[in-house]
Amino acid sequence: MGLQGSAAIVGIAELKPEKKPTGPEKFSIEQWAQLARLALLDAGLSHGDVNGLVTSFVMESAMLAPATVAEYLGMEVNYAEYVDLGGATAAGMIWRAASAIELGIADVVVCALPGAMTPQPPGAPPAMDGWLYGASSNAYGSPQAEFEIPYGNIAQNSGYAQIANRYAAEFGYDARALAKIAVDQRTNACANPEALFYGKPLTIDDVLNSPMIADPLHMLEIVMPVSGGAAVVLASREKAAQTPHRPVWLTGFGERLAFKTHTYAADLVRTPIGPASDTAFAMAGLSRQEVDMVSIYDCYTIAVLLAIEDAGFCAKGEGMDFVNSHDLTFEGDFPCNTHGGQLSFGQTGMAGGLSHVTEGARQIMGRAADNQMTRCDTVFVSGNGGIMSEQVALILRGD
């Protein structure tokens, strides 16, 4: 079942995360073109090589986004896909692109996620719905409009906090272990000049002394959305042979989703990354012990803890001990989010999820800088959308 592992990431592009974007704002389709250009340059491939596109939403077109992008880029493609998995979108794009390549319907596929603000028409009032409701839907007939929003159950913080409190009730809670996840990732960011928090070391006490946002989550355990963008080019074995970098093969993936609002999760602390990871490892024919680095979607520290457990790197309920007894830095015995993670690299909107893919590719290609691991052949990547509600696991491998 599944992939043969004959499609590879051959080019990556990533804009440096910024709190406030420098330079003029660009529309989504302009950002898409910029990111595609950079990723193709990195891969040594050209406009005419591309015959597949994977996108998520673009601000300029609520419908028909892939066609909007293809037309703007001036590309005719055999494969165009729209992925709508929140924070799991990036990882979801990668396996879809690789599948299309293995099916033989495309041999060079570009996946891009713009992550910067777009220009507003002169004099227009700011759009409010996204600000008021986040990813929740206030449309008539939406279960969230009727049964969540009126109770204030909106946005991510309260949902992840409820996961953490449920976890505490079942397994106990060591706030210092959770904080250590953020601290180790900050150590990684301090070796990565591209990271938003480069040069700003962090201690466990700093995390625990930061303001409580939603019990038990502190401010420094929560990502800060910033501006950026990323893209990845995948290619067939034949095309990959013409590219300059060590190819990063996708040898396994899994995907699982079951709900939108966490209230309706069958089990709030045994999350969909479990079955998604089982599928991915079985497809790749690998054990957890063969992984050199984990690139885990880290919107919150509790999300990392649950992914470490549910993806099978330790037993359920032992994640806090595992974090306390392992070094999660790029020089450690369980390297995790070597770019700093979104917590310290920066959550560049939807592109933040792609940063976990680009970092995995960078480590396997040997192109990380001061944070390069001495040896990295196998990377586990997770994507996490909603409130741990939609999850994707990827296995990346170098030859």
Partner 1 sequence: MNFEKPLPLATPTSQPFWEALTRHEVQIQQCGDCGAWIYYPRAFCSKCLSPELEWKEISGRGTLYSFTIARRPTAPFWADDVPQLIAVVELDEGPRLTSTLCNVEESDIRVGMRLQPLFDDVSDKGVTMLRYEPE
* 24 sits near partner 1 (criterion: CB under 8 A): no
- Other C-beta atoms lying within 10 Å of the C-beta of residue 274: 21
Q: How far is the CB of 267 from partner 1 (least distance, A)?
A: 10
Contact 271, 305 (CB under 8 A): no
If one asks whether residue 105 binds partner 1 (CB under 8 A), the answer comes out as: no
Among 64, 103, 127, 169, binds partner 1 (CB under 8 A): 169
Judged by CB under 8 A, does residue 141 bind partner 1? yes
Determine the interface stretch with partner 1 among 3-11, 61-69, 138-146, 381-389 (rule: CB under 8 A): 138-146
Print the SS3 string covering 55-94: ECCECCECCCHHHHHHHHHCCCCCEEEECCCHHHHHHHHH
Please state, as a whole number, how many other Cβ atoms lie within 10 Å of the Cβ of residue 243. 19
β-strands 293-295, 52-55 pairing? unpaired
Give the separation between CA 154 and CA 156, rounded to whole angstroms.
7
SS3 category, 13: strand
Contact stretch for partner 1 (CB under 8 A) within 15-23, 63-71, 156-164, 196-204: 156-164
- 264 or 366: CB nearest partner 1: 264
Among 215, 321, 331, 399, the residue binding partner 1 under the rule CB under 8 A is 215
Give one word for 291, left, alpha or beta, with left for phi > 0 and alpha for psi -120 to 50. beta
Site for partner 1 in 114-133 (CB under 8 A): 132-133
Quick one: which of 80, 154, 233, 394 contacts partner 1 (CB under 8 A)?
154
Q: How many CB atoms lie within 10 A of CB 19?
A: 10
Cα 248 from Cα 251, distance rounded (Å): 9
- x-or-dash string of contact with partner 1, 228-267, rule CB under 8 A: ---------------------------------xxxx---
- Continuous segment of H or E residues that includes residue 110: strand 108-115
The answer to whether 150 contacts partner 1 (rule: CB under 8 A) is: yes
Q: Is 168 in the site for partner 1 (CB under 8 A)?
A: yes
How many residues of this chain interact with partner 1, rule: CB under 8 A? 38
> For residues 239 and 243, what is the distance between their CA atoms, to the nearest angstrom?
7
Q: Which residues contact 331 (CB under 8 A, 6 or more apart)?
A: 373
What whole-number distance in Å separates Cα of residue 281 and Cα of residue 395? 7
Is residue 137 a contact point for partner 1 (CB under 8 A)? no
For residue 335 the two structure tokens come to: 């390297």
Contact between 207 and 218 (Cβ < 8 Å): yes
> Does 166 help bind partner 1 (rule: CB under 8 A)?
yes
Q: Does 162 bind partner 1 (CB under 8 A)?
A: yes
Contact region with partner 1 (CB under 8 A), list: 108-116, 139-147, 279-287, 365-373: 139-147
Q: How far separated are the first and last CA of the chain, in Å rounded?
A: 21
7 touches 247 (CB < 8 A): no
225 binds partner 1 (CB under 8 A): no
Quote the least distance from Cβ 131 to partner 1, whole Å: 8
Does 363 contact partner 1 by CB under 8 A?
A: no
Report the residue from 25, 71, 146, 399 that binds partner 1 according to the rule CB under 8 A.
Answer: 146
Residue 210 in the binding site for partner 1 (CB under 8 A): no
Kindly state the smallest distance separating residue 169's Cβ from partner 1, in Å. 4
Which CB atom, from 134 or from 366, has the smaller least distance to partner 1?
134
Token pair, residue 296, equals: 């885990």
The CB-of-194 to partner 1 minimum distance in angstroms stands at 29
Q: List residues near partner 1 by CB under 8 A.
A: 132-134, 138, 140-141, 143, 145-155, 157-158, 161-163, 165-166, 168-169, 211-215, 217, 261-264, 268
